[in-house]
Structures are given as structure tokens and as C-alpha cells.
A = this chain, B = another copy of it.
Amino acid sequence: MKQSQLFAKTSRKLSESEASKNAQFLLRGGFIDKSSAGVYTLLPLGLRVLEKINKIIREEINAIGAEELLMPSLIQKKYWEKSGRWGVDVIYKTSTGTENKDKKDFEYGLGWTHEEVISAIAVKFINSYKDLPKAAYQIQTKFRAEARPQAGLLRGREFSMKDLYSFHESKEDLDNYYEKVINAYKNIFKRLGLKTLICETGGGDFTKEYTHEFQVLNPAGEDTIFYCEKCGFGQNQEVYKPEAHKNCKNPIQSGRAIEVGNIFKLGIKFSEAFGISFLNKNGEKKPVIMGSYGIGPTRVLGTIVEEFSDEYGIIWPETVAPFQVHLVELSGKDSDGKVTKAAMALYEKLVKNDIEVLYDDRDASTGEKLNDADLMGIPNRVVISEKTLAAKKIELKIRGSKKTDLISEAELIKILQK
């Protein structure tokens, strides 16, 4: 991709309405655009990162036998009433713009979670123990009427969510699947470069048992967690009890954290509300036991920026970077065009080798180009200039490192194809 042709541009201007680091860097880097408080467009660069996050999530969730589907956002009042969630604070309700239509027919609650919809589907396909277990997920847009949306992509009114739902014949089978999801989540966050702590928290209305959150220690987080690096203990402040850690001598630590995932044993609450039952091996009718498991891909995107940046901009992990290489042409007083020619040739060679490259072919100053490269945070920055041409080398700099290396074209391709 040539940078001169990108739909969006970088900006030096700080946004006055955004306090968070992730929003500032993502806005300035041309990854997102702000539509209104808590509502963003993912510009082409941001969508590239999001799709890489989604790909990792899909691979790991498919690997535990879940099938992807896509549920709607318009959810009828009758479904929310069955679960008792029509009246929650965070639900957006719809009506039409036209006065003379039957308003009732246009009244939906926008999906901020999908237990109701998946339950209404599952009841049609689950009849027997032979139909169990089942698991289905989607990566879909959610809507939450947050009173004070803040922290950029960490808490929005419209955001993406991977929500997985599982159905079991017994508590034991749910427990087994729950462990599988924990492992899948560990794989996902490891591949995303995020170090997570698993913390117990409350189950709200659904269960008296603890549920679990995957937390990333970070000062931008809204939660406070208590954790022990030695024994793996972790609790959200909401449920924290010092005596729960009394068998370990290591001192407890606490810190702010961002919740990037949560997992939940729903039990039979929705099965009973929606009548999801099955005949067991003895021909007895039993309610299905359910679990639900979330990861917010857009929040993960924001978290990665909070975790990986310096004063100059973002430092993307290789696995989610929008491009592998930022090829920067510094023509300087290049009157005969040989720098441009060499940069273009390298660009074509990299593309041919299936390396994702953003080629800064813009007519801009050296300072502007290098500052933008730091802001955008692509892991490998390659400079072609009169100086590198004279040395018959290419300058490679790893984003976040201070060191530059002069290497050959063949060495560069070898490094990038590793």
C-alpha cells in the first residue's frame, strides 16, 4: 500500500475531547475517527489491526469446536422480557421516525449481549443428550448506552464483541468446557502480546459462584484487582477478601487493570426462561446448562495501544501490526529520482514476497516521515535514502529500539519472512 493513497492521514493535533492515550494515538495515527462520544469509525489502518485480532480469536475459538454465526442487533422486547433485562440501564431502545406507524412494531432493544437470541435459537435445535454439547459464537457489533463513554476504545457505546455461548448436559461438562475456554483465551492473549491475570469476580444475578475476568494490569484500566504473582491468586476489588489468600506467604499486590475478557457459568437461568431442555439417557427432561464467554476486540485494540507505546507513538506487536514493514523513502535533494526508483523497486519486491508493506512515497520532509512512522508504530522501519544507496544497503530500525542497522536487501527479506 502506498501511503500517499491512504484514505486517512496522520495528524499532529491532539484531540481536546479525548484524555486517553489509546484514543490520542489512534486518532492521530489515522487508525480511527471519532463520530461522537464513545462511537468511532475504524479507518482502513484500524480495520486492518482489528481483522488481525479477529483472525487470532477465530482460530483459537474454532479450535475448541465452536461454530461461528451472526445474530441480529434488533432484538424484540419479548425476548428481553423473558430474561428480565428489558429495563436495564445500558439498553438502547428503538422507535421509528414516523408518527403514523404502529410504534410497537418497531420497538427493539439493541443487542448489548446475546444470551436471549442464542437461547431462542438453541431451543429449536436441542432436544436430546445427543445434541449436546454445542457451542456457537459471533464477532459482532454491540451497543451499550454508557452514561460517560471514555478512555477511547476501552469503553464505547458501540464496540465489537466476540461472544461465545455453550450448552451442556451437566455441570461437569460445562466445567470441562470452561477450562477449554480458559486455555483458548490464554492462547489468544499470548498471541496478541497481552499478559493477562485471571481474576474472580461476582456473578451478578446469574450465579452465586464467582465468574472470571481476564485482566491486563494497566493504569488506564477502570478496575482495581488484587493479585499474587506467586500463587496465581486474583480477585476483582468488588469481591476481594484478604482471607482468600491466607495460605500463600507472598504479599498480595494490587493495581488498576483493563478487563479484556470474561467467562461466565450461566447455569440454567436462560434455559429456564427460554425452555431449553433435553431428554437425558434415561428419557428424563432436564434443563440445559449454559456458559457465556466474551472478548471485546475493539477494547483489545485499545488495550494493546495502552500497553505498547512510547512518547512518540504506538509500538504494534508483530501479530497485529497493520503492516509488517514501513518503507520510508527519503528523497532529500534526490534530483535524478534514483532514491524513488530504488524504493519503488524494493516495494515491489516485498509485495511479491507476500510481505505486507506500507510505502511512504509522500512528498514530505524527513522529519514528518520519520515522526509519522514512529506514531503509526509499524514494527520494522526501512529507510531508503541517498546515504543508504551509497552504502548499497538498506537501513532497518525496529520500532521501540534505538538502534539502526544497515543490511542488504536479501537479509531484510530473510528477517521479514522469519
Q: Could you list which residues of chain A lie within 8 angstroms of chain B, going by C-beta atoms?
A: 5-9, 33, 35-37, 39-44, 46-47, 50, 65, 67-76, 86-98, 101, 105-106, 108-110, 117, 120-121, 124-125, 134-136, 141, 143, 145, 147, 157-158
A72 contact from B35, B92, B105, B125, Cβ within 8 A: B35
| A125 surroundings in chain B (CB, below 8 A) | 7-9
- Summarize A's interface: helix, strand, loop or mixed: mixed
| A117 surroundings in chain B (CB, below 8 A) | 35, 41
Query: Are B89 and A97 in contact (CB-based, < 8 A)?
Result: yes
Q: In the bound complex, what is the Cα–Cα distance between A65 and B6 (angstroms)?
A: 10
Query: Are B33 and A124 in contact (CB-based, < 8 A)?
Result: yes
CB closest chain-B residue, reference A66 = B7
Query: Are B145 and A35 in contact (CB-based, < 8 A)?
Result: no
| A41 surroundings in chain B (CB, below 8 A) | 69-72, 117, 121
| A74 surroundings in chain B (CB, below 8 A) | 35-36, 39, 92, 143, 157-158
Query: Are B96 and A67 in contact (CB-based, < 8 A)?
Result: no
Query: Are A44 and B71 in contact (CB-based, < 8 A)?
Result: no
Query: Are B76 and A44 in contact (CB-based, < 8 A)?
Result: no
Query: Are A67 and B106 in contact (CB-based, < 8 A)?
Result: no
Assuming the A-B contacts A35-B71, A44-B69, are A96 and B101 also in contact, with contact meaning beta carbons closer than 8 angstroms in the complex? no
**Minimum Cβ distance to chain B for residue A61 (Å):** 13
| A5 surroundings in chain B (CB, below 8 A) | 65
**Minimum Cβ distance to chain B for residue A65 (Å):** 7
A94 contact from B92, B105, B136, Cβ within 8 A: B92
| A147 surroundings in chain B (CB, below 8 A) | 101
Query: Are B93 and A6 in contact (CB-based, < 8 A)?
Result: no
**Which of A69, A86, A136 has the most chain B CB atoms closer than 10 A to its own CB?**
A69
- In the complex, 26 of the A-B residue pairs with CB atoms within 8 angstroms, ordered by the A residue number, are A5-B65, A6-B67, A7-B125, A7-B134, A7-B135, A8-B121, A33-B124, A35-B117, A39-B72, A40-B72, A43-B121, A44-B68, A44-B69, A44-B136, A47-B70, A73-B73, A73-B143, A74-B92, A86-B97, A90-B97, A91-B97, A92-B96, A93-B94, A93-B95, A94-B94, A141-B141
Query: Are B106 and A96 in contact (CB-based, < 8 A)?
Result: no
CB closest chain-B residue, reference A145 = B96
Q: In the bound complex, what is the Cα–Cα distance between A50 and B69 (angstroms)?
A: 11
**Which of A50, A87, A90, A94 has the most chain B CB atoms closer than 10 A to its own CB?**
A94
Query: Are B93 and A89 in contact (CB-based, < 8 A)?
Result: no
Assuming the A-B contacts A86-B97, A145-B97, are A44 and B67 also in contact, with contact meaning beta carbons closer than 8 angstroms in the complex? yes
| A44 surroundings in chain B (CB, below 8 A) | 67-69, 136
Query: Are B101 and A93 in contact (CB-based, < 8 A)?
Result: no
Query: Are B35 and A75 in contact (CB-based, < 8 A)?
Result: yes
**Minimum Cβ distance to chain B for residue A18 (Å):** 15
| A42 surroundings in chain B (CB, below 8 A) | 69-70
**Minimum Cβ distance to chain B for residue A392 (Å):** 33
